[in-house]
């Protein structure tokens, strides 16, 4: 029941994005547009850009803005307590046995395009993501979900941070270890 509705909603949203790209091509990149009839219709027309290169420029701008937003919202999600695995699931990543969270971090923070063939081979040095924890309000350095112990992945939480303490408690439960 809900599924077809969602599909048409996102289809409509995609239409608005295409419309926005076309408008930016006209307003920012200086092309004009021409109304063209849609085959089979007498009343509906489509618009085409007279200089399609302006469309390429507008779409490129849209893409770089959207990519920056992927990163910004992923950082906000991490700050709000979401895991890299949850972010990877939303991104719809499929990996060759590599946890989706690692793949998501590699993509958004390290700038590596997901590659299912890579099978977990990583370079040594990776950049970090930085965000302010919404639990303890401290600045956190997030090195990705690559280590077992939460404190090896995230540094900067206060000692009393409930989120970080919960992560460590879950780790102890999972591993049966005590630090």
Q: Which residues bind Zn ion (CB under 5 A)?
A: 133, 135-136, 157, 161, 164
In the bound complex, what is the minimum distance in angstroms from residue 72's beta carbon to Zn ion? 19
Q: Decide whether 31 or 135 has the Cβ nearer to Zn ion.
A: 135
In the bound complex, what is the minimum distance in angstroms from residue 145's beta carbon to Zn ion? 16
Tell me the helices (H) and strands (E) count for the chain, helix number first: 6, 5
In the bound complex, what is the minimum distance in angstroms from residue 105's beta carbon to Zn ion? 18
Burial state string for 109-140 with b = 16 or more CB within 10 A and e = fewer than 16: beeeebeeeeeeeeeeebeebebebebbeeeb
132: helix, strand or coil: strand
Q: Decide whether 108 or 136 has the Cβ nearer to Zn ion.
A: 136
Q: Decide whether 103 or 167 has the Cβ nearer to Zn ion.
A: 167
Q: Decide whether 7 or 80 has the Cβ nearer to Zn ion.
A: 80
In the bound complex, what is the minimum distance in angstroms from residue 3's beta carbon to Zn ion? 37
CA angle, 16 as apex, 11 and 22 as ends, to 5°? Answer: 125
């Amino acid at each position: 029941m809900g599924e077809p509705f969602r599909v048409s909603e996102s289809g409509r949203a995609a239409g608005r994005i295409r419309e926005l790209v076309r408008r930016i091509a006209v307003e920012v990149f200086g092309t004009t547009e021409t109304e063209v009839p849609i085959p089979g219709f007498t009343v509906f027309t489509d618009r085409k850009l007279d200089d399609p290169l302006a469309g390429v420029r507008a779409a490129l701008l849209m893409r770089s803005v959207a990519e920056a937003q992927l990163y910004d919202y992923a950082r906000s999600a991490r700050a709000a307590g979401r895991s890299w695995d949850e972010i990877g699931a939303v991104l719809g990543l499929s990996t060759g046995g590599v946890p989706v969270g690692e793949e998501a971090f590699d993509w958004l923070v390290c700038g590596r395009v997901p590659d299912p063939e890579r099978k977990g081979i990583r370079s040594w040095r990776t950049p970090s993501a930085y965000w302010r924890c919404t639990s303890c309000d401290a600045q956190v350095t997030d090195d990705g979900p690559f280590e077992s112990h939460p404190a090896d992945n995230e540094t900067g939480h206060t000692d009393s941070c409930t989120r970080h303490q919960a992560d460590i408690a879950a780790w102890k439960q999972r591993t049966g270890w005590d630090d």
